[in-house]
């Protein structure tokens, strides 16, 4: 997961790029003809100073290697952020960031 947080005044622009296959469960493997099982990010959470500020639900309509963008107000230089996601197979990733 790559995260970029830009601060302008008291507003943070949070950009998140996640490497993930994001399979819908509707595509077939060309070689075998079998359906590729669904595998997608279902939940993205951002916490600012320990407080949850974004709770995004996702589904199969999100593209491969998704890019997420959020704006969060009430932010200052030095603040801590935690960004995490979970997919439908129970896999997850979490990253801590501090605004420099």
Residues 3-59: tens digit of each pLDDT:
999 999 999 999 999 999 999 999 999 999 999 999 999 999 999 999 999 999 999
Domain of 56, in residue numbers: 2-98
Q: Is the pLDDT of residue 100 over 90?
A: no
| pLDDT tens per residue, range 44-54 | 999 999 999 99
Q: In this structure, what CATH number is given to the domain that contains residue 79?
A: 2.60.40.10
The pTM of this model reads 0.91
Q: DSSP secondary structure string, the chain? A: -EEEEEEETTEEEEEEE-----B-S--B-TTT-PBPPPB-EEEEEEEETTEEEEEEE--TTSPSS-EEEEEEES--TT-EEEEEEEETTS-EEEEEEE--
Domains held by the chain: number: 1
């Amino acid at each position: 997961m790559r995260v970029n947080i830009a601060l302008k005044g008291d507003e943070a622009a949070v950009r998140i790029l996640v490497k993930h296959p994001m399979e819908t469960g509707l595509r077939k493997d060309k070689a075998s003809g079998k359906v590729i099982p669904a595998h997608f990010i279902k939940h993205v959470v951002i916490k600012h100073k320990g407080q949850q500020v974004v709770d995004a639900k996702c589904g199969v309509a999100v593209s491969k290697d998704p890019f997420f963008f959020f704006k969060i107000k009430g932010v200052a230089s030095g603040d801590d952020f935690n960004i995490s996601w979970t997919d439908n197979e129970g896999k997850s990733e979490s990253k801590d960031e501090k605004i420099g």
